[in-house]
Chain A
Amino acid sequence: MSAKRESVRAEERAVEQIVLRTFATVTGRGGDPLRWTLMSDTPVGTLGLAASEAGLCQLSFVKNEDRFLNQLLDVYGERPLLHVPRALDEARRQLDHYFAGKRLAFGLDVDLSTVAGFSLKVLQATAKIPAGRVLTYTDVARRAGNARASRAAGNALHNNPVAIVVPCHRILRSDGSLGGYGGGLPIKEWLLEHEGARAKQLA
């Protein structure tokens, strides 16, 4: 059994090397590969997931496989991409539990290396907001080091590559209204309700 598993691993390594060498030869894409997969039929629709060696680097609401793939090809223009349908099983498991209400906090490594500067600080501040709590755009801008940059904070949140796990849905307008959301406001509303958050509970 364990010998069989070892030979399956050896095969997968060899197969991966073939694809990575082909990426380099044919498309010039090199460096560390990203593994991607889709998670369909969640309460918030289909999710596209991608991870580097460092962790989850993309979690997007997607219409279909092609849209997500094009997004990845654009964002990670230099990197090889591997479609591993059964990859990212830990992220999948935690998301399943999150949607089932069994857990609302994630214990996942996240790779935000495509984000820098103030935007990165905004996302790092956002990652610390616990489920059930919300902040305003101004709050999160202040925590990121510039209370007057709430618009820039909004942009950073809109471009958050790792939705849900970096909970940009927990940021609201100062008047308690929803503001914006990349996945659409109904999803933002669903997530907040699922987490038991109300505008009153500003963190």
Chain B
Amino acid sequence: MSYLDVDHNQRVARLLALHGLELARHLRRLVRDDEVAQDLLQDTLLRAHRALTRLGAGANERAWLYRVATNAALNWLRDRSREHRALDAHARESGDAGGGSDSPFDADDRALLWQRVAALPQRQRVALTLRVADELEYAEIAARMGCSAEAARANVYQAVRRLRVKGLA
């Protein structure tokens, strides 16, 4: 484990030990789904780790985390309803499948991104691909990879983190 990983673990453990319960409660109430709440909590921690490393922990750390978590939940809810609208639209053959610019990656970054993805450790790359490209549940990813759902989730998390560290996701 590299120094960066130890550092990352300590910082994230601190955030979880301090704000974990209230953030999880907040997210769960917004999205009404345990799995999604966990995903969004992890996403919030990733963003927090990056931003707080840059900004330093201040008195408004808690408020900041709440804002990030709330936005993550609202985005998820919006994406889900957009998906539904898109399906409706498709059924009506109206041709509008939702805005094209909500990809997390700029088009310019795309080639570079796939290079980075290809460079990920194999299990992380596989787990990430199954999650993002095939949109599988963690249990399904686990079944395909022959590991536990938690291990699958951990692999996706580490993959996203590596891409984030490189400023791509």
Residues of the A chain whose Cβ atoms lie less than 8 Å from the Cβ of B45: 22, 26
Provided the pairs A15-B28, A18-B37, A25-B154 are in contact, do residues A82 and B21 lie with their beta carbons within 8 angstroms? Answer: yes
Asked if A17 is at the interface of the complex by the 8 Å CB criterion, the answer is yes
Once A69-B18, A73-B14 are accepted as A-B contacts, the answer to whether A27 and B9 lie under 8 Å apart by CB is: yes
Chain A min CB distance to B89 (Å)? 34
Which of A11, A65, A83 touches B20 (beta carbons < 8 Å)?
Answer: A83
Q: Does B16 contact A (CB under 8 A)?
A: yes
Residue A21 at the B interface, CB < 8 A?
A: yes
B168 CB-CB contact with A under 8 Å: no
A50 CA / B63 CA spacing, docked (Å): 25
* Chain A nearest Cβ from B156, distance in angstroms: 9
In the complex, B81 has a CB within 8 A of chain A: no
CB–CB B150/A25 < 8 A: yes
Give the contacts of B4-21 with A (CB-CB under 8 A): 9-10, 12-14, 16-21
Given contacts A14-B28, A69-B14, contact A19 B20 (CB under 8 A): yes
A84 within 8 A of B: yes
Which residues on B sit within 8 Å (CB–CB) of A18?
24, 27-28, 34, 37-38, 41
Q: Which residues of A contact B16 (CB under 8 A)?
A: 19, 22-23, 26-27, 80-81
Which of A26, A73, A83, A84 interacts with B42 by CB under 8 Å? A26
What's the Cα separation between A70 and B38 when bound, in Å? 24
Q: Contact mask B20-55 → A, CB, 8 Å, 1/0? A: 111011011000001001100110010000000000
* Smallest beta-carbon distance A10→chain B, Å: 11
Q: Report the tally of A-B residue pairs with Cβ distances under 8 A.
A: 80
Q: CB within 8 A of A26: which of B24, B27, B28, B157? A: B157
Q: How far is the CB of A85 from chain B (nearest CB, A)?
A: 9
| Complex contacts, A16 vs chain B, CB 8 Å | 21, 24
**Residues in B whose Cβ lies below 8 Å from that of A69:** 14, 17-18
Question: Does B125 touch A at the CB level, under 8 Å?
Answer: no
A28 within 8 A of B: yes
Decide yes or no: A23 and B20 within 8 Å by CB, A14-B28, A15-B28, A18-B34 being known contacts.
yes
Contact B24 A22 (CB under 8 A): yes
Instruction: Type the 1/0 row for A68-94, where 1 means its CB is closer than 8 Å to any CB of B.
Output: 011011000000111110000000000
A65 B21 Cβ-Cβ under 8 A: no
Q: A22 to B42, Cβ gap below 8 A?
A: yes
Cβ-defined partner of A73 (8 Å) among B10, B25, B27, B153: B10
Q: Say yes or no: A83-B150 contact (C-beta < 8 A), given A22-B41, A73-B13.
A: no
User: 8 closest pairs, A vs B, by CB?
Assistant: A81-B17, A19-B20, A18-B24, A27-B13, A15-B25, A15-B24, A27-B9, A25-B154
Please list 22 pairs of residues, one from A and one from B, whose beta carbons are closer than 8 Å in the complex, sorted by A's number: A14-B34, A15-B28, A16-B24, A18-B27, A19-B16, A19-B20, A21-B38, A22-B20, A23-B20, A25-B154, A26-B42, A26-B154, A27-B12, A27-B16, A36-B17, A65-B18, A69-B14, A69-B18, A72-B17, A73-B13, A73-B14, A81-B16
Binding site for A on B (CB under 8 A): 9-10, 12-14, 16-22, 24-25, 27-28, 34, 37-38, 41-42, 45, 150, 153-154, 157
